Structure 1
Amino acid sequence: MKKVLKIGLLGSSGRIGSGIIKLLENDDQSFIVQKISRQQLIDKDLFLEEVDVIIDFSLPEATCLLLKRLREKKISKPMMIGTTGFSQDQWNELHEYASTSPVIQTSNTSLSIGLICQFAKNAAVVLGKNYEILISEVHHKHKVDSPSGTAKMLAQSCIDGFSNPPYIQALRIGDVKGVHEITFFGPYDRITIRHEADDRQLFCEGAVTLAKWIVNQKPGQLHSIQDFLIRN
């Protein structure tokens, strides 16, 4: 019999956090044992000893405050971080925590977006300097960061294999779950890859899948969704 995974959730009131709660209602192998609130972090009112893994969809300040509380309690827990918008100092904190605890951070928990990042990296290497790259995205009007973490993740995938930085266009309108396109413009042809999220449960399922994976990984590096795809 598989071990039941006990999850702590930071950001339970958000769109993705609420979706994860709904998703796990029908999962007999995983359940949420603690919804971590910002007030609990401020009051130091945390009881995370029984948690197997923490899923985080909050804000950078809340993530870093959680890391601080874990250090204070000398608790090391695997984490799946879907929060975006970290400053360089905050990134350094994530890397420091990942040196002693298994951590995966991704701006988009859709496994298909991870695959597109892999393709974009390979395409940039093969197509070379004769191509220009445009990344365009559409998100709902309430999304704060623009461009999104996903757009930056796609751009980084291209940069890893291509010297010219891609152009990024970002639009915020309506209740769009997320549309991303990468177009490679060449002298004689054009290649477009498009991903459109129809339901936010896509991200919720991906987050739980990544959380189940990270508990079995070793500390020492800040994992990405590409690490998951390579090893599965």
Structure 2
Amino acid sequence: MANFAVIGHKGRMGIALAQAIDQAGHALRVGIDIGGDPGVLTGPKEQGCDVVVDFSAPDALSQNLAAAQSAGVPILIGTTGLEDAHFAAIDKAALTIPVLQTGNTSLGVTLLAHLVKEAAAKLGPDWDIEVLEMHHRHKVDAPSGTAKLLGEAAADGREIDLAANMDSGRHGHTGARQEGAIGFATLRGGSVAGDHSVIFAGNEERITLSHSAENRMIFARGAVRGAEWLIGRKPGRYTMEDVLGLT
């Protein structure tokens, strides 16, 4: 049994995580939400934890990383909407503690990203790549962290930089599709937990690789599995692909 700390434990994912942690036979020892002090992780031994899971907000990441470092415990980061400064902070923290950061903790999406990378590498630049995603009406960032993860997988397969080849702002008279671009389309509405498809469009044929999330419990269970795997690891930067042995 492991003792978990969950940052953002009152949010939708936090509630699902509490259930998944219990189902896996572990204990939610510390729960922190908006306004809470992550420094509690460094409290008395009886309040200690073996791993931190963070599904809070980008603005809180620096404080959360510092708390995990101070406590000397690994941290799994599932927060989306991160920018370059956040990734730099994660890289720095990973020098002293194990850190697993991902845009999606679903085991199915992890395997999908692996397949996308393989397809992009094998099919070559003659095939256009489009990433399509849909989420519930309350989601605040776009494209989703998962869509970006899949786009990165496609870019890695082609050995190109996603930022320099990403097309997510089509509107009006945009002209012809840019050669080598990785396109993104975003849909929002209803209560969709998360649908993602990567379309490889060639001349007179298409391949679509897709994943549908029916309930956010799949993300919670994947996060628990990732956190279990992270306990006892050496300091470093890890991914869900490491958890599934795909690297």
**Both structures adopt the same fold (TM-score exceeding 0.5):** yes
Partner residue in 1 for 2:49: 51
* 1:41–1:66 CA contact under 8 A, matched in 2: no
- The residue identity in structure 2 corresponding to 1:15 is R
* 1:155–1:165 CA contact under 8 A, matched in 2: no
Following the alignment from structure 1 to structure 2, what is the Cα–Cα distance between the partners of residues 127 and 27?
Answer: 40
Partner residue in 1 for 2:218: 202
**Residues 32-181 of structure 1 mapped to structure 2, 5 A cutoff:** 32-41=28-37, 44-48=39-43, 50-71=48-69, 74-162=70-158, 163=160, 164-181=180-197
Q: Summarize the Cα distance change of 1:172–1:154 in structure 2 as closer, same or farther, 3 Å threshold.
A: same
Partner residue in 1 for 2:228: 212
Bigger Cα displacement from structure 2, 144-153 vs 57-66: 57-66
- The residue identity in structure 2 corresponding to 1:229 is L
- The residue identity in structure 2 corresponding to 1:18 is I
Shift of 1:46: 4.7
Bigger Cα displacement from structure 2, 11-20 vs 222-231: 222-231
Whether 1:23 and 2:26 are equivalent positions in the alignment is no
Q: Summarize the Cα distance change of 1:69–1:38 in structure 2 as closer, same or farther, 3 Å threshold.
A: farther
Please provide the CA RMSD for this pair: 1.7
Give the 3-state SS of the residue equivalent to 1:174 in structure 2.
coil
- The residue identity in structure 1 corresponding to 2:82 is F
Q: Give structure 1 stretches of 5+ with no counterpart.
A: none
Q: Give structure 2 stretches of 5+ with no counterpart.
A: 161-179
TM-score normalised by L of structure 2: 0.85
Partner residue in 2 for 1:192: 208
Query: Runs of at least 4 residues of structure 1 off by over 6 A?
Result: none
* 2:7–2:56 CA contact under 8 A, matched in 1: yes
TM-score normalised by L of structure 1: 0.91
Shift of 1:47: 4.1
Shift of 1:15: 1.1
* 2:3–2:49 CA contact under 8 A, matched in 1: yes
In the comparison of the two structures, how many residue pairs are matched?
224
Q: Summarize the Cα distance change of 1:149–1:230 in structure 2 as closer, same or farther, 3 Å threshold.
A: same
Identity of aligned residues (%): 34
Give the 3-state SS of the residue equivalent to 1:141 in structure 2.
coil
Partner residue in 2 for 1:9: 6
Following the alignment from structure 2 to structure 1, what is the Cα–Cα distance between the partners of residues 225 and 243?
Answer: 10
* 2:151–2:182 CA contact under 8 A, matched in 1: yes
Q: Summarize the Cα distance change of 1:98–1:19 in structure 2 as closer, same or farther, 3 Å threshold.
A: same
* 1:81–1:104 CA contact under 8 A, matched in 2: yes
* 1:5–1:31 CA contact under 8 A, matched in 2: yes
Residues 85-134 of structure 1 show CA distances to partners (whole Å, capped at 9, x for unaligned) of 12211211111111110110111110110111111101011100110001
